[in-house]
Amino acid sequence: MKTMRSLTPGQTGHIEKVNAKGALLMRLSELGFTADEEIICLTESPLGDPKTYFVKGAVYAVRNGDAENIILR
Amino acid sequence: MDKKTVAFAGNPNVGKSTVFNAITGLHQHTGNWTGKTVETAIGHFDNGTTEFDCIDLPGSYSMIPCSAEEEVTRNYILSNKADIIVCVCDATCLERNLTLVLQILNITKNVIICINFIKEAKRNGLTVNTKKLSEMLDCNVIEIDAKKRSGIDDLIHAIARYKRKPETNEPPMPPVKINEKAKEIFRACVSGETKPDKNTAKADAVLTGKFTAFPLMLIFYALIFWLTLVGSNYPSEWLSDIFGFLLDILDKLLENFGLNDFLRDLTVYGVFGTTATVVSVMLPPMAIFFPLFTILEDIGYLPRIAFNLDKCFNKCGSCGKQALTMCMGFGCNAAAVVGCRIIDSPRERLIATLTNSFVPCNGRFPTLIAIIAMFFASDGTFFSSVVSALILTVFVLIGIGMTLIISKILSKTVLKGKSSSFILEMPPFRKPQIKNIIVRSLLDRTLKVLARAICVAAPTGAVIWLSANISVDGRSVLSMICEFFDPIGKFLGLDGTVFTAFLLGLPANEIVMPIASMAYSAEGALSDIADLTAFKNLLTANGWTTVTAICFTLFSLFHWPCATTISTIKKESGLGWAVLSVILPTATGFIVCGAVSFILKIIIL
C-alpha cells in the first residue's frame, strides 16, 4: 500500500482514500485531501519531518505520521 | 446617519486584513471580543448617508471549527449580527475558498465576494470567470488587488448599495454536498491547470533547505537583535535627555504651585521619573523590533520556522505551531499567549501557553542588552555590538532549548499525550507591505505595549519611591526588604537587591534594572541607566562580578511572567494553569541559577 508519506520532493501522486475520522477527515477534505485529487510533494523539512504537499493550489506541511493515513493509488 | 455592520471573513493568508485596512484606513482599533479576549480589528467608514462598522474576523478555513479562532468567526456569523458579510477569496486556491463561501451562504445569503490575487493566479496558469461565479453563487463578486487598492472602490460601492436579501427557509446543505458543490463551481468558473508558485519554491529551497535552514534562522535572529541593539542606542539617549529636561520643568512648575517637598519629589522623581525611564528604555527597541518582526510575519517566514522546527516539537509531544507562538513571545509574552489560540488541541495549546515566557520578551531585551554590553562586550565598537548580538542569540537559544525541555516534561506528566495531527499551510512568499507594517506594528503593538507599561510604571514608581524614602529607625523600607531577600538572592548568584527588583518588576519586566539601580544608588529615584559605564561602576561597587551578570541574565530569562501575561493566562486557561505558569519558570530559574552560581563559584575559587 502506497501512502503520501512515501512521496519524495518532486514526486506526484493521486489520492485513493483518506484513513481519518471525524473533525480531521472533515478538515483534510476541506483543504483538498480527497479521493482522486492530485498531490505533489514539494519540500522536506531539514530534520526530515514534516514534508510539504501541493494540493488544489495551496501548500501544506503535513507530518509523516499523518501522511501515512493518506493512501495513494 | 444609518448604521450598518459589515463583517470580513475568509481563509487565512488571503489578504483579508489588507482589504480591511484599505477600506477603513486608520479608522480602526484592535478590540476585545465580548466575554473572550479574542482580538479583532474594528473599524468604520461612511458614505455620507450611512456609517459602516467593519469587523475583521479571524481567518478561518471552515464553519466547522478546529480552533478557538475559527470558533469566534463561526459564532459571529451564526449570530446574524452583521448586515453584510464580505468574504475575501484567494484566486490561487479558489476551490478551498469556495467551500467556506458556500458554508457561509448556508447560514446567510447577505454575502459579497472579493477575489484577491487574480494576477498571481494568472501567473500560476489559472483564469477565473468572475461573471459566471457571480451567477452560480447568486452573489456580487468583485475582483480586487488589495495591495494596489484596485477594486476597493468597487467594493465600497457594492457595500454602500447593498440591499439585504430576505431570509429564505432553504434547508442547509450537508457538509459533503458543500465540498462537491465547491468542486462543481470551481470547474465551471476556473480554467487552466494550477501549478506551485515558482518564486516561492526557489525561496523555500534555501529557507527550508537541509543545510541552509538553521544557519539562516540564526542569522535572521542575530540580525534582528543587532539592528534593535544598535538602532535603539541613540533614540534612547535622546528620549532620556528630553525627559530629563521635562523633569526639571515639572519640578519647577510644582514648586511654583507651592507643593510641599515630599509630594513634589514623589510626583517628579517617583511617578514621572520611573515612567520616563521605562519609556526611554522601552520605546526605541520596540519601535525597531516590532516592525522588523512584522516584516518576517508579513512575507510568510514564520510558518517556515514552524516547518523547520516541527520535528523538535513533535518529539516533545507538542505542536509545530508552538514555534509560531514562541516567536510571538519575543515580541510580547502576553500577546503570544492570546496567539496560542491558533493551536487546535487543548493539550498542546496549554503546553505552548505555559512555556511561552521561557523566551525573553521585548520588555526583557533592553535589560539583557544592557548587561551583555556592560559585562561581555563593553568597548562600544562595531565589533562589540556584533558580539553582543551573538551572545544575546546564545541566551535566546538557551531559552528555546528550555522551552523544548519543559514541553517534553509537561507532555510526560500533567499534560500527558501524544502530539496530535498537524497540518500547517505554507502561504506563498509575498512582498511585505511596508506602510501597513509600520502602521500595524506601531499602532497595534508598540503603542499598546507601551501604554500598558506606562499604566503599571507610574503607580509602581510611586511605591518604589515611597519605600526608598520612608525610613524606619534610620533605614529605608526598601533596603530592609532587600536585606530580607538577600539569602535567596545569594543562592541564585545574585543579591537581595536584584531579587527585590525582580519582585517589584512583576508589573513590567522593563523596570527591573532601573529599580535595582535606584536601590543601589539610594538616590530614591530611578536613575538614568543610559550611561552604561557609570552604571557598571555602580554595579561592581555593589559586588557584581561576571558570575552575577551571568546569573542575572539567566534569571531574567527564567522567572515569573509579568503580571499582564499571568492575567492573560488566567483569562485564557483558568487560575490553576496561571499558577503553574508562575511556578514552572520560577522553579527553572532557581534550579538553573542555583546550579550555575554554585559551579562557577567553585571553578573561580
pLDDT in tens, B292-309: 887 887 888 988 999 999
Asked if the Cβ–Cβ distance from A43 to B205 is below 8 Å, we say yes
- B interface test, pick of A11, A36, A56, A66 with most B CB neighbours within 10 Å: A56
Tell me what the mean pLDDT of segment B3-11 comes to.
92
Percentage of chain B with pLDDT > 90?
Answer: 35
User: Is A1 an 8 Å CB contact of chain B?
Assistant: no
Give the torsion through C-alpha atoms of B263, B265, B267, B272, to 10 deg. Answer: 180
Residue of A nearest to B101 (CA): A30
Asked if the Cβ–Cβ distance from B310 to A32 is below 8 Å, we say no
- 3-state DSSP call for residue B215? helix
Per-residue pLDDT of B61-82, as tens digits, reads 999 888 878 888 899 999 888 9
pLDDT for residue B523: 52
* Cis status of the peptide bond prior to B585, with omega within 30 of 0: no
pLDDT for residue B84: 93
User: Is B428 an 8 Å CB contact of chain A?
Assistant: yes
The C-alpha of B314 sits at a distance from chain A's nearest C-alpha, in angstroms, of 9
pLDDT for residue B527: 54
Q: How confident is the model at residue B34 (pLDDT cuts 50, 70, 90)?
A: very low
User: Is B423 an 8 Å CB contact of chain A?
Assistant: yes
Per-residue pLDDT of B451-489, as tens digits, reads 877 887 788 888 888 888 888 888 888 889 999 999 999
pLDDT for residue B422: 79
Percentage of chain B with pLDDT > 70?
Answer: 95
pLDDT at position B589 over 70: yes
User: Is B312 an 8 Å CB contact of chain A?
Assistant: yes
Tell me what the mean pLDDT of segment B399-409 comes to.
95
How many separate domains does chain A show? 1
Give, in order, the Cα–Cα distances in Å from B106 to each of B169, B172, B175, B195: 10, 6, 10, 31
User: Is A60 an 8 Å CB contact of chain B?
Assistant: yes
**Whole domain around residue A49: which residue ranges?**
4-72
Residue of A nearest to B93 (CA): A57
> Quick one: which H or E segment has residue A58?
strand A58-62
The C-alpha of A16 sits at a distance from chain B's nearest C-alpha, in angstroms, of 17
CATH number for A20: 2.30.30.90
Residue numbers of B between 197 and 216 with CB closer than 8 Å to A: 200-201, 204-205, 208-211, 213-214
Distance between CA B498 and CA B505 in Å, rounded? 10
Per-residue pLDDT of B220-239, as tens digits, reads 888 888 888 788 878 888 88
Asked if the Cβ–Cβ distance from B62 to A30 is below 8 Å, we say yes
Q: What string of DSSP letters covers B229-270?
A: HHHHHHHHHHHHHHHHHHHHHHHHHHHHTT--HHHHHIIIII
Per-residue pLDDT of B548-581, as tens digits, reads 999 999 999 999 998 888 988 998 899 999 999 9
pLDDT at position B530 over 70: no
Please, what is the Cα angle at B217 between B559 and B588, to 5 degrees? 15
pLDDT for residue B350: 94
Asked if the Cβ–Cβ distance from B423 to A34 is below 8 Å, we say no
Asked if the Cβ–Cβ distance from B310 to A65 is below 8 Å, we say no
Q: How confident is the model at residue A52 (pLDDT cuts 50, 70, 90)?
A: very high
Chain B residues in contact with A27 by the CB 8 A cut-off are 61-62, 64, 66, 423
* Mean pLDDT comparison of B69-83, B237-251, B397-411, highest-scoring range: B397-411
pLDDT at position B526 over 60: no
pLDDT at position B320 over 70: yes
pLDDT for residue B28: 63
Chain pair A-B, CB pairs under 8 angstroms: 114
CATH of B2-195, one of 3.40.228.10, 3.40.50.300, 3.40.50.720, 3.30.1330.10: 3.40.50.300
Please report, in angstroms and rounded to a whole number, the separation of the first and last CA atoms in chain A. 8
Asked if the Cβ–Cβ distance from A56 to B61 is below 8 Å, we say no
The interface pTM score, or ipTM, of the predicted complex is 0.95
Give residue for cell 498531490. A39
pLDDT for residue B384: 79
- B interface test, pick of A4, A44, A47 with most B CB neighbours within 10 Å: A47
Residue of B nearest to A59 (CA): B426
Per-residue pLDDT of B122-156, as tens digits, reads 888 889 999 999 999 999 999 998 778 888 899 99
Mean model confidence pLDDT for chain B: 86
- A interface test, pick of B117, B426, B430 with most A CB neighbours within 10 Å: B426
User: Is A63 an 8 Å CB contact of chain B?
Assistant: yes
**Could you say which of B62, B64, B426 has the minimum Cβ distance to residue A52?**
B426
Contact B552, B597 (CB under 8 A): no
pLDDT at position B98 over 90: yes
pLDDT for residue B519: 79
* Mean pLDDT comparison of B453-457, B535-539, B584-588, highest-scoring range: B584-588
Strands B2-10 and B50-56: parallel
C-alpha B506, offset from chain centre? 19
pLDDT for residue B143: 93
**Selected residue with higher pLDDT from B543 and B590:** B590
pLDDT at position B31 over 50: no
Residue of B nearest to A52 (CA): B426
Residue numbers of A between 20 and 49 with CB closer than 8 Å to B: 20, 23-24, 26-32, 34, 40, 42-49
pLDDT for residue B39: 60
User: Counting beta carbons within 10 angstroms of the beta carbon of residue B543, is it exposed (0 to 12), middle (13 to 18) or buried (19 or more)?
Assistant: exposed
Contact B110, B138 (CB under 8 A): no
Asked if the Cβ–Cβ distance from A60 to B306 is below 8 Å, we say no
Tell me what the mean pLDDT of segment B270-283 comes to.
82
Per-residue pLDDT of B326-370, as tens digits, reads 988 887 888 888 888 888 888 999 999 999 999 998 788 878 888
